[in-house]
Chain A
Amino acid sequence: MALIERKGQLELGDGGDRAEPIGVFTRPMAETGWRSWVTTVDHKKIAIMYGVSAIFFFVVGGIEALLIRLQLAQPNGKVVSAQLYNELFTMHGTTMIFLFVIPIGAAFMNYFIPLQVGARDVAFPRLNAFSFWAFIFGAIFLNLGWFLGGAADGGWFMYAPNSGTLFSPSHGIDFWTLGLIITGIASTAGAVNLIVTVLNMRAPGMKIMRMPVFTWMSLVVQFLLVFALPVITVALFLLMFQRNFGATFFNPDAGADPLLWQHLFWLFGHPEVYILILPAFGIVSEVLPVFSKKPLFGYPFVVFSGAAIGFMGWGVWAHHMFASGLGPISVAVFSITTMFIAVPTGVKIINWIATMWGGRLRLTTSMLFAIGLIGMFTIGGLSGVTHAVSPADLQQTDTYYVVAHFHYVLFGGAIFGFFAGFYYWWPKVFGRMLSERLGKWNFWLMLIGMNLTFGPMHIVGLQGQPRRTYRYAPGMGFDMWNKVESVGAFIIALGVLVFLINAIQSRKHKAYELDPWDARTLEWMTTSPPQPHNFDAIPTVHTLDEFFHRKYDEDPATGAMIKVKEADQVLEEMGRDEHIHMPSPSYWPIAVAFGLPILAFGVIYSHILIVVGALMVLGSLYGWAMEPATEPDSGGHGGDVAPSTELVSHG
């Protein structure tokens, strides 16, 4: 939380000769072993932790999906009860959105934003660590319902009055509510951190319009997070007060309006879907140029359309509420704004296709996923356009047609984008390539699987199969397609399994050469994996696609770009900075984070724990504030908050 940093960086003693830290604990200095991970403030390690957690929850959410599909594979299914089915679809959606897509985005953004802008770390490294620990504690807390009386069962959108204690008496929704408040705090802190990083920690010459598109899209995402999360935080607190302290904010019997929840939820929820997709759009914008051997077509348009999506995303939220009784004027207004928001995405699709047009395409796995995104997202976008037409939406809403739409954009869009990112950046992060052979299997299984699973949902949805219903009667015309969908789901699972095998097996591959893809952007101007301080010398940036232009020059005779330098030569010529200051590891971020679930337990079970949790948070915050960001004797500046970017330019 920003209020930690507001206490200021305190010099202990007179500028550098401090001997003993205030307090009981000495500063951790471990560089290997589990302690180095628990106390790390290195954005790369934090990113890997986010990534591993996200993939774990991807599998959890996937298992929840497979159970749903087993139940729906036949009419009048008896695989799970109605109650368990409600918990499964609630947790599947919640897990996939909040515990997979968001953190895998955070993983990519945390790893690559500092590298892409030419920084050594983020603006507030300890805050970054706090964000991860708060996220993982919140994620675990959210899932405790499974073990403590039943998981949340009101749908991931948790509409009132189903969300109240009358219809959902177990603690599942309380774990959900409080868990999301905690993960929301984590993401808010992360958003502030990354925005300040992008604004304030760029290498010399890295102007805003020279930044890679992935960083740009990530910047838009962070703004969306920082402004949208407070709205759902309000909703979650109101629900928590209702369920645990007797308030009646969403209870119609008490004169409340359940639409208040819907508005507050979707005011967050719609920017949220752009939060989910924009990082993937950013990754695709990196991958396509590299594997088309052409610069991105229309960089300013791609950037501005991303910003436009972020801005316009605030004006469409009630299109999730067309059937809620808003009234014709509101419905008409939101219908029109929703139609407009298709435009900037269309701009991106055109620019991506134009990037590939006339390029020398290399169909690596990463490229296949990127092209797959363009195709699959377009399909999902088209069904989205049909939703915008509110009279049509009245038939589509609450049916499997909607499920088809958002799975095409989320699976075919966000997930395909992230997988493109895995195959592209794996060698940079781990120093080894993923197998291209297994990668192709991964891709085709996922592509075929997702189309088998979600394609028929358009049909059965329009024919009337409702969402969130644990069984359907035979003879409605749904039987065959549901079987196909369930088979498709297992094909997806097979694809994911292939990926996991690929990931684990990659450790056996030989360490790769420095620049396997002949890439274009700054993060490739480092060793693989990068050293803790990222760059030996912070580069001075002269152009967009700086790395590309250091390797390639224009042939005066033909005008074509020819390679004049290899990657290792570029790295060698960068030299080495004399003073490299890195922030030191710290216990306090995980300590502060740990107080939060304790506090949350207190709300559910015993109010005294609220005080205990709050005191843990407060005490740890003091420890954090008293500790300098960098230990003087480790060679750092005692008072710096962020690792300093020593600006001796080395060309």
Chain B
Amino acid sequence: MADVALHTPAGEHTTTGLSNTKLAVWLFLGSECLLFGGLISTFMLYRGRVIGSGPEPAKGWPTAGKLYNIPFTSASSFVLLMSSLTMVLAVASMQRGDRPKARLWILTTALLGCCFLAGQAFEFTHFYRDGAGYTTSLFTSSFYTLTGFHGVHVAVGVVMLVSLYVLSGRQQWGSEKAESVEIIGLYWHFVDIVWIVIFTLVYLIPS
């Protein structure tokens, strides 16, 4: 019954009693499924097309199996999973009102995110040296586009986390700010689940 507007935990008056921002974010994440779905589908279509149209590189056309370093990528996946844990611990701490702990977990999450990105950069540098440039073949173009979009999403998440860390130190932040942390957390976990899909479909299945 929408006869009276309800209060959200953060104090807004809304028809459903749910936070505007939280509704918006879940909806946005739903739309992101279609974005990543398109990129993943493009990869799935082109993952076997390793012959390019340019001159053949000296080492031959790199295929997925030859290129990947599964142990390394597994370590990256572990790092990202751990960052999801630290993120949810940050949210839980914030909801308890434990700001110092929350900030610690937020910073840790950001650092783990940076580790992941560093790992990606390292990995891609090696791929490039092994002959897999962006335009080498449809496989490489699709691969880099998909993982690149994901990486940009991680980077945006890191920026938001660092901003959150800095801002939460400057003024009084009580448990009513928990929602902001929760919102960034939702985004961060989504980026993690996209990686779960990418790791399986892109890395593990071809090898």
Contact = CB atoms under 8 A, between A and B. Distances in A.
Are chains A and B touching in the complex at the 8 Å CB cutoff?
A: yes
B38 A230 contact: yes
Contact of A202 (B15, B39, B134): B15
Nearest to A122: B20
B132 to A, nearest CB: 13
Ranked nearest first, the 6 interchain pairs of A and B with the lowest CB-CB distance are A8-B180, A234-B38, A230-B35, A230-B34, A246-B135, A254-B53
B14 interface: yes
Interface stretch (A188-196, A527-535, A597-605): A188-196
Given A237-B145, A241-B141, A246-B134, 12 more contacts: A8-B183, A11-B171, A123-B24, A192-B24, A192-B27, A204-B5, A207-B1, A234-B35, A234-B38, A241-B145, A245-B134, A248-B135
Contacts of A192: 24, 27-28, 31
A3 B171 contact: no
8 contacts: A199-B16, A238-B42, A245-B135, A247-B141, A255-B51, A255-B138, A622-B163, A645-B5
Contact of B156 (A3, A196, A249): A3
Interface stretch (A256-264, A382-390, A500-508, A585-593): A256-264
Contacts of B135: 245-248
Main secondary structure of the interface of B (DSSP, over half): helix
Contacts of B141: 241, 247-249
B126 interface: no
B172 interface: yes
Contact of B138 (A14, A254, A641): A254
Nearest to A198: B15
B13 to A, nearest CB: 5
B27 A196 contact: yes
Contact of A5 (B10, B24, B167): B24
A196 B24 contact: yes
A6 B53 contact: no
A10 interface: yes
Contact of B180 (A6, A205, A231, A233): A6
Contacts, number: 164
Given A8-B177, A199-B16, A248 B53 contact: yes
A444 B164 CA distance: 60
Interface of B: 1-5, 10-16, 18, 20-21, 23-25, 27-28, 30-32, 34-35, 38-39, 42, 45-46, 49, 51-53, 134-135, 137-138, 141-142, 145, 156, 159-160, 163-164, 167, 171-172, 177, 179-180, 183-184, 187
Contacts of A2: 21, 24-25, 27-28
Given A123-B20, A255-B138, A201 B15 contact: yes
A579 to B, nearest CB: 11
A443 B13 CA distance: 44
A229 B31 contact: yes
Contacts of B42: 234, 238, 249, 260
A247 B145 contact: yes
A206 B2 contact: yes
A622 B25 CA distance: 18
Contact of B160 (A3, A13, A256): A3
Contacts of A234: 35, 38-39, 42
Contacts of B28: 2, 192, 226
Nearest to A233: B35
Nearest to A542: B3
A645 B4 CA distance: 10
A646 B7 CA distance: 12
A205 B38 contact: no
A167 interface: no
Interface string A32-54: 00000000000000000000000
A200 interface: yes
A200 B49 contact: no
Most interface-central of B3, B14, B31 (chain A CB within 10 A)? B31
**A interface, how many residues as a size bin?**
35 or more
B20 to A, nearest CB: 5
Contacts of B23: 195-196, 199-200
A124 interface: yes
A479 interface: no
Contact of B3 (A9, A14, A205, A249): A205
A238 B28 CA distance: 21
Contacts of A8: 21, 177, 179-180, 183
A642 interface: yes
A195 B18 CA distance: 13
A151 interface: no
Contacts of A7: 160, 163-164, 167, 180, 184
A227 interface: yes
Given A254-B52, A644-B13, A202 B24 contact: no
Interface in A523-548: 540
Nearest to B176: A639
B27 to A, nearest CB: 5
A231 B18 contact: no
A210 to B, nearest CB: 9
A395 interface: no
A228 B42 CA distance: 16
Contacts of A618: 159
Given A14-B172, A205-B2, A642 B20 contact: yes
A578 interface: no
Given A237-B145, A238-B145, A247-B135, A188 B15 contact: no
Contacts of A238: 42, 145
A235 interface: yes
A208 B15 CA distance: 11
A548 B176 CA distance: 42
B20 A196 contact: yes
B167 A10 contact: yes
A13 B177 CA distance: 14
A260 B45 contact: yes
A95 B24 CA distance: 29
Contacts of A246: 134-135
Nearest to A205: B3
A236 to B, nearest CB: 11
A207 B42 CA distance: 42
A192 B164 CA distance: 23
Contacts of A228: 34
Given A3-B187, A234-B35, A238-B42, A195 B27 contact: yes
Nearest to A232: B38
B145 A248 contact: no
Contact of A645 (B13, B35, B156): B13
B179 A641 contact: no
Contacts of B15: 199-202, 206
Most interface-central of A5, A8, A644, A647 (chain B CB within 10 A)? A8
